[in-house]
Amino acid sequence: MNGSRRGYRVLVVDDEPEILNFVKEVLTSSGFFCDCASDSRQALGKLRTQSYHLLITDIRLPDGSGIDIIRIAREKHPYMAAMVITGFASIEGIKEAMDLGAMDYIPKPFSMEDLLLAVEGVIKKQRHSKHSSGKTLVTNSPAMEKVMALVEKVSATDSTVLLTGESGTGKEMIARALHRMSRRSAGPFISVNSGGIPEGLLESELFGHIKGSYTGAHATTIGHFQAAENGTLFMDEIGNMGQPMQVKLLRALQEREVTPVGSSTPIPISTRFISATNSDIRQDVENGSFRKDLYYRLNVFEIKIPALRERSTDIIPLAELFLCGMRGPFGGEKLSDKAITALLTYSWPGNVRELENVIERAVVLAGNETISLEHLPDWISNSPGTDIPSADTAGVVHLNVIVNSVERHYIQKALIASGGVRSKAARRLGLKRTTLLARMKKLGIAEGLKG
């Protein structure tokens, strides 16, 4: 995500010079702009005169609290993200920071990798916050309108939700929209990728741990369930969880309580739980790798997110939304007509995530210029159907030219995938055979095929 770092401004507040110097050195060398303050007074002074994308602050400061800085800063800069660092077992402080909108926290001591991973995670969440805002989640397709209708219905409840669909379809964006539309919207939204956490650490990450419970547990730390109190906990890649952890998660969801590692005292929780998977979880249940009782506990309300190729009318609105989110410090202007056609003719195996990455790459290459074919990857810019006539003097291309180009491309792909059998290609395209033949004739697609 190096393109995201260009012009990204971070304010770090900590009273320990070594921490300030370490964070500044790591972030600056990684492409961020980093400013520092050693107490509340300095931090608030900088926030009055400058704007930042991210505030990283210690909770305990010599002249006040990092919580107060977050509260004051968010009033003046509502779109600024916040993250806390702490060397104390300040569970209440972390929860208060999360309630105020802090997106993450890092316990001291932390490594360079810990810091960069957390900051990149905040950037991703920040982008997704811009891309969706409850009912205004961008969609221009009937398939996604059906999804959002389901989201709106289930958001009025506390039902556990399971989001399914291919990787990159935007399951976390849907989870965030569900949270914003729910009665828990004032509480925190905590996102965790269970597939990215080693099995041995997942219990501590979810339920927390007490000081000294294992080697490296230097302080009592709350888990994601507690951090999401009165809010929503979203767990992606739930299908990758091992059997022992499945048992513990099932117990937590059934009993509505968690027991931190090293403790024997359960802690009640009030957290909305949303999970997601890109695997065939029903097949995992059948082959025994995923517990049937946990599956039924998670699958109270399932929402399947369609692949981007199944909602092609969303491609350009999403691309323009990503582009809009990258303006200002992220650069970017607009898409050329040929770039639009190339985006429409590509099949997007990586779905929405791939589209976002492609737009980010194009923004870096184009700067403030219009994004053209040369700014797109070769496998997209060389797609069939991208050679369309130039726009007229008003910058307009006849819609039929683009529609015919895209239609020709997908009919040809369906014919190839069907071995030239037109009846099979028609079924793939959702058309009657006679309709396909009429469109082939209209578009000048060669006859002489089978069936």
Residues 6 or more apart in contact with residue 421 via CB below 8 angstroms: 449, 450, 451
pTM over 0.75: no
Give percent of the chain above pLDDT 90: 30
What tokens were used for 105? 């926290």
Domains, the chain, ranges and CATH?
2-105 (3.40.50.2300), 132-304 (3.40.50.300), 310-443 (1.10.8.60)
The answer to whether residue 3 scores a pLDDT higher than 50 is: no
Task: Catalogue the long-range contacts made by 215-224 (C-beta closer than 8 Å, 24 or more residues apart).
Answer: 217/261, 217/262, 218/107, 218/109, 219/87, 219/88, 219/89, 219/107, 219/108, 220/89, 220/91, 220/260, 221/89, 221/107, 222/91, 222/94, 222/95, 222/260, 223/258, 223/260, 224/190, 224/192
Structure confidence at residue 86 (pLDDT):
77
Task: Report the range of poorest mean pLDDT among 5-14, 231-240, 368-377.
Answer: 5-14
Q: When comparing pLDDT for 8 and 42, which is higher?
A: 42
pLDDT at 12: 94
> 273 pairs with which residues across the strands?
233
pLDDT-based confidence at residue 447 (cuts at 50, 70, 90):
low
Tell me the per-residue pLDDT of 112-152, one tens digit each, with 9 for 90 and over. 988 998 888 887 776 655 555 444 466 778 888 899 999 99
pLDDT value at 68 more than 80: yes
- What gap in Å lies between CA 92 and CA 245, rounded to an integer? 26
